Amino acid sequence: MKRLHYCLFALLACLCASGLARAKAKKHESKATALVELFLKTPVDQLPADEVDEFMAVDAQKLPERLRGPCEAKKAQLRALRKVYELENGGGPRSGAPAPKGCSAPLEGGEALVQYLGKAGFALITRQEKDWLAANTHCTQKQMMCEFSLTVVQRKAKDKRKPKTWYLLHAKDPLYMLVGMKRQGQVPQGSGSFGESSFPTCR
């Protein structure tokens, strides 16, 4: 009888612990969802600075599906604006600081994610334009992703759908300005700093 009581007590303890863990996880997910919704509806210059790191740490894939794409796009926007600021004021990988972990990882998605990125200030460039930038700036794709705003979206093959890759740059990125000049036939010559009409270079 004592053994039966012990087993029942152990089972109840496990069930309670499991229930508490689920409740805690659900509360954490609800908090993350609320934070993401706040960031999505708030202009960048009005975002709560003390919650930016927490927002950037949110795993978008654990959010409700309706928030995943917009969350990824918002995070990409904040990363891009930070890089633009660092390019203009010093700091970041180009000043010798370590590159953020995972900065060269592509985003997994499709047309919907590309559209969300467009609303966040990004513009599409072609693979040929990306290669042109690499050839003239001596920046690898990884450097353009970690030191600039190059964002790569990859769609994996599924059923009859073929894989596809998109390349985007934020509109405020000096690299995108170079692409714009090239498209207008105003290709800068040589290399130099970002404030000049010439190619930036990577180390």
- The pLDDT tens digits for 35-46 are 999 999 999 999
Let me know how long the chain is.
Answer: 203
Q: State the average pLDDT for the chain.
A: 83
- The pLDDT tens digits for 58-99 are 999 999 999 999 999 999 999 999 998 888 887 666 667 787
By CB atoms closer than 10 A (0-12, 13-18, 19+), residue 153 is buried
